Structure 1
Amino acid sequence: MQDLLLTGGHVVDVGGGHVGRYDVAVRGGRIAAVAPGLAPHEAREVVDVTGHLVTPGLVDLHTHVHPGATYWGVHPDPVAWHSGVTTWVDAGSAGAWGIDALRTAVSSYRVRVPALLNISGLGLTGRTGESTDLAHVDVDAARDAVARHPDFVVGVKVRIDRETVGANGLRPLERALAVGPPVMVHVAAGPPGPEDVLPLLRPGDILTHCASGTAAVGAGPVVREAYARGVLFDVGHGAGGFAFDVLEEQLAAGLAPHTVSTDLHTRCRYGPVFDLPTTMAKLRAVGVPLHDVVEAATAAPAAALRLPGGVGTLAVGAPADVAVFAVDEGPFPVVDANGQVRRAPERLRCVATYVAGRLLPPSLPEPPPPWVPLTEAQRAALDRRDKALRDLLGQPLVGPEGLTEQFPRTRNEG
C-alpha cells in the first residue's frame, strides 16, 4: 500500500529520467514508483494533479538561512511551502566558529539544509568584511569543522570583493581552496575581479553571481576558459548579482549557467528575487528551455554538491521531495538586479510542496528586520499583505451551515 499517489501530472525529472505524463507513488517518505497508470486503489491518499507540472523538490544552491544570528538570514519554511524549494543550501552563513549553532538551528526546519562553510570563522554575522583580517581565515579550524560535520558541510564558501577582503586580495580564496572542494566563490565589485578569481578555480568549483553586472563577469577569454575547464557557473541572483544583458551575452557565447539559484536573503526576498520560481522565470525570459531551467534547479545543483540519496530527482528510493506547479501562461514582466525588464512566457505557481512525502503546511513569514532598506512600494505591499491576512484570519472559517454538532447534548424524552 502506497502512502501517497500523485496522478496525471506532467513530470519533468531530468535527473531521474522521467519526462512526460507519469504518476508518482510515495511510501515511507521515499519515491516508490514513477510510471503511467499506477493503481489508485493501492494508495491511502490520491491527489489528482492533471494539468500541473510535477518536478523533484527544487534545490536552491545559494541561500542564506539562520535569521537572528546573521545579517542576511531568512527562515526557509515560510518561503518553501509556496515555492517548491525543499533543499536550501546555506552558502556561508557560518564559519568554523558558528557551524555547530547553524546545525542546531536548521534541525528545526521542515526543509533540508546542507551547508557551505564560510572560510571566515565569523561567517555572515555582519554585512561584509569577514575576511579583512586573515586571523579569521583559519584553514585548520575550517578543516576541523568539515571533519566534524561530514554529513552537513558539503563545500566551502568564500566572498571575494573589495569590501569583504580589503587588502588581503586573493588570499582568502587560496585558503578556501586549501580546505577542499567544491569551493563556491562570490564575486562583486573588485578588485579582485573575476579575471583574477577564475584562473584559480578547479573543475567542479562554483562561480556564483556568474551573470553579475556589478562584478562585470561578461564572456571574455578568461570566462570562456574557466567554463571550458569545468568551473560551474551559478546564477546566484541576490540583490545585486544578476543582469539580463550579461546573461544574454553569455548565452550567445554558449555559456549557459549550470545552475539557477536565488542567493535568497533578507535584503532580496521582497524583491528583486522573491523566490526560486521567479528566478527560473528570468531564465525563461531570455530563451532558456523550460526543461533545462528545471534541471538547473533540481538535478544539476544536487550533482554539483554530490548531495546523497537521489536529492533533486524522483528516482525510486530517493527522498519523496516533490513540487507541484500550475503553469500560468504569460507573458509576465520580470526584472533583474539593475532594473532591466524582460518578459517570461510563463510563470510556475507552486500549488503543493512535499518533503519526505508530507505536504508542507502554510507558514507566515517573519517581518523584515529594521536594517533592510525597503522602497515605499515594498512597505505598502507588505502592509497590504498583512491586512489581507488579518482580514482573512479574522473571519470565522465557515458559517453555521458548515458545522455539525460534535458532542450531542442529552435530550430528555417525554
Structure 2
Amino acid sequence: MSWDLLFTGDERDIAVRDGLIAAVGPGLPRDAHRIVDVTGRLVTPGLIDAHTHVGPGYWGIDPDPVAWYSGVTTWVDAGSAGAYTVDGLRRVARAAGVRIHALLNISAVGLAGRTGESRDLANCDVPLAIDTIQADRELFHGVKVRIDSETVGDNGVEPLRRGLAAAEACGVPLMAHIGTAPPALDEVLDLMRPGDLVTHCASGIAAPLGPAVRAAAERGVLLDLGHGSGGFAFDVLEAQLDAGLAPHTVSTDLHARSLHGPVFDLPTTMAKLLAVGVPLDEVVAAVTTRPARALGLPGGSLTVGDPADIAVFEVRPEPLGLVDAHRQVRTSPVRLINEATFVAGRLLPPRLPAPPAPWIPLTDTQRAALDRRGRDIRALLTTPLVDVAGLAEQFPRTEPRSS
C-alpha cells in the first residue's frame, strides 16, 4: 500500500490518497510518494473562513494569493453575489485553487457597489433567490443580508424578513450583517432563528451587548466574528467574553478594504482571540469544525474520508501586537505562522497579489508599505537563485575525438 502524501509528526501520522485523508494514527507505513515531517508543528484541517468577499464587485479580492500563506482552504463568499450577478462568482469559483462556497445576497444586485443594495425592495426577490440557491446547492450554503441604515434605507428589517423566507424555503442558514442603526439591533436579533449567524458580533458600531444578544445566543443563534474594516472592537469582545458570550465562529470579512489592514488574514485574526485569552484549541475549532457544521461544508476535520485540506503552522512564542478596527491594541503571546497549505493533498504554490483597486482608500503609510513590499519582491526575484555551488552541469560537454 502506498500513500500519495504522508505527514509524520509527534503523536500521529496523516496519510493522503486521491485527495482524501486515507489513514490517521501513530506509526503509519512510510510508503509514500512524499513525506512531510511536521514534528513540533500545529497541524490543522484547512482553515474555513466563513465570511469573505471573493466575488466580483466593489469588495472582492482574489483568494489564491492569500490562501497559500494563511492556511485558508475554504473561502465562504458572504453575499458578494446576488441572483443577477451569480455568474461572475461562479467564474471565480471555477478558476480558484481553493474551495469557494457562498451565501447568496437576498438583493439580486449583490455587492456590485459599496452599499445600498437593499434600498429598492424590488431587488429583494424571494422566489428568484430560492430558484438561484436551488439551482446550485454545491455553491450556495446560505443567505446573506446586510442590515444597517446605509444598506436598507427606509426599509427597516424587511430585507431580513425576505432573506429569512428564502433561507427557510431552501433549508439553509442566514447570515445577518449588523452595523449602524436603524433598524434597531434588538429588532434584527429577535427575528433570527437557531442556526442563523450574526456576523460582526463584536462590532464597536452595533455594540451587541444587551439582553437580546444573550437571548439570541441561548436559542441557538450563532455569533460570528466577521472582523472586516469596521466590524470588530477588542473592548466589545472582552465584554462579551466576560458575559460568557464567545464567538461560535471566527471569520475575517476579508475584502479589498480590510486586506491591507486592519484584518490582513485569518491567522492574524485568530491571534486577536488569543490576545484576549481564548484558548488555542477553541480558536482552531472556530475556524474548522464549527463553520463546517454551521454551513454544511465539506472538511473541517482530519478524519478518514475527509478532503485532504491541511494547514501546517509554527506556533512561535513571541509577543505580537494586534489592532482592531478602531485602533485599539492588544498583544498575543504567540504568532501563528503558516508554513504550508494543502488542498486535496496538493501544496498551494506562492502567488503574488494584484495591486489594490483604485477606489480603495489607503493611508500614506499603507501605500508606502505596499511600494516597499513590491521593491522587496522585485529584489528577491531579480537576484539569481543560487551561485555556481548550487548548480549542476545539465548537459556536460564531451571531449572531441582525436584524429
TM-score (norm 1): 0.94
Partner of 2:242: 252
Spell out the pairing of 1:177-216 with structure 2 (5 A cutoff).
177-180=164-167, 181-216=172-207
Q: Which AA in structure 1 matches 2:123?
A: H
State whether structure 2 residue 283 is matched by structure 1 residue 293. yes
Shift of 1:334: 0.8
Contact 1:187 1:193 in 2 (8 A): no
Number of positions where the alignment pairs a residue of Structure 1 with one of Structure 2: 397
State whether structure 2 residue 49 is matched by structure 1 residue 48. no
- Could you tell me which runs of 5 or more consecutive residues in structure 2 were left unpaired when the two chains were aligned: none
**Alignment RMSD (CA, Å):** 0.9
Partner of 2:375: 387
State whether structure 2 residue 225 is matched by structure 1 residue 225. no
Distance 1:50 1:403 in 2: 30
Q: Deviations over 1:255-279 (max 9, x none)?
A: 1110000000000110000000000
Q: Deviations over 1:236-287 (max 9, x none)?
A: 0000000111111111111111000000000011000000000000001111
Q: Which AA in structure 2 matches 1:254?
A: G
State whether structure 2 residue 268 is matched by structure 1 residue 283. no
Partner of 2:388: 400
Contact 1:4 1:26 in 2 (8 A): yes
Shift of 1:408: 2.9
> Which of 322, 331, 334 in structure 2 is aligned with 1:346?
334
Q: Deviations over 1:25-62 (max 9, x none)?
A: 1111000111112222x111111111110000000000
Q: Deviations over 1:154-208 (max 9, x none)?
A: 0000000000000011000000000013000001111013211000000000000
Q: Deviations over 1:77-113 (max 9, x none)?
A: 0000000000000000100111122112211100001
SS at 1:54 equivalent? strand
Shift of 1:410: 4.1
Spell out the pairing of 1:2-401 with structure 2 (5 A cutoff).
2-9=3-10, 21-40=11-30, 42-66=31-55, 69-180=56-167, 181-218=172-209, 220-308=210-298, 311-401=299-389
Distance 1:253 1:379 in 2: 40
Contact 2:54 2:92 in 1 (8 A): no
SS at 1:330 equivalent? coil
Distance 1:291 1:72 in 2: 31
Farther off after superposition, 186-195 or 270-279: 186-195
Partner of 1:14: none
Contact 1:94 1:124 in 2 (8 A): yes
**Which portions of structure 1, spanning 4 or more consecutive aligned residues, are displaced by more than 6 angstroms?**
none
Farther off after superposition, 132-141 or 98-107: 98-107
- Could you tell me which runs of 5 or more consecutive residues in structure 1 were left unpaired when the two chains were aligned: 10-20
Percent identity of equivalent pairs: 63
